[in-house]
Amino acid sequence: MRIALPVALLCTLAMAGQAMADESGAGWIGKIVPPYPDGVSETTGTCIGGAQFDPSTICDHAFAVLDDPQSKLRTILALEQAPHFGKLPLWRIVDALEPDELADRNVQVATGTCQRRGTDDASVVALVRVAEQEWLSPVLRAWRFDVAAGRLLPLPVVDIRCRNEGFGYDG
C-alpha cells in the first residue's frame, strides 16, 4: 500500500505536466507543415533573417501564427525548413506557444518588425496591441528564437519595441 500512493501521485503529476505542455503548444512540435489541421489557418508567416544571418540561410527558419476559429486558439510556431524534393516549402515545427493573451483578439503577434535594445532583430516575436502610432507599445510579452537551441526563449519586454507596419498608410 505504501508504494501505491507515490506511484499514483507520480502518475497524477505526469498527467498534469502533460496538460501544461499541451497548453504551451507542445503538441505541435515535430510536425511537418503544411498542411495544417482542418479549420486551422496561417494568418502570418515571416522568414527569420536579417543582417545578423548568412544570406544563404535567410529563410531556413521562420515564424508562423495560426488561428483556429473553432477552438479560439492562436498559436505561435517556430519553424525550420524540412528537406524534401518538392517545389513548395515544408516546415518542421521546432517550438510552439499558445499564450493566454492571444485569447484577446485585440492582441496581435509582431514578427519581423521588432527591435531589441534599438537594433532590428528578426529573431524576436512579440505580443502587442495595435495602436495608431509608429511603435507598438507597450509590448506585452516577447521571445527570441534561438536557432541553435531550437527554442523560443522569453525576453524582458523593457528592451523590445515593434514597428507598426501600417502606421501612416492611408490607402
Q: Which three cell numbers stand for residue 102?
A: 492571444
How far is it, in rounded angstroms, from Cα 23 to Cα 117? 30
Measured torsion, CA atoms of residues 170, 46, 33, 102, in degrees rounded to the nearest 10: -70
Over residues 2-57, the pLDDT tens digits come to 444 443 333 333 333 333 333 478 999 999 999 999 999 999 999 987 555 666 66
How far is it, in rounded angstroms, from Cα 22 to Cα 5? 26
Residues 94-115, mean pLDDT to the nearest whole number: 95
Q: Which three cell numbers stand for residue 133?
A: 502610432
Which amino acid is located at 107 in the chain?
A: V
Domain residue spans in the chain? 4-163
Residues 88-112, mean pLDDT to the nearest whole number: 95
How far is it, in rounded angstroms, from Cα 4 to Cα 82? 45
pTM for this model (two decimals): 0.81
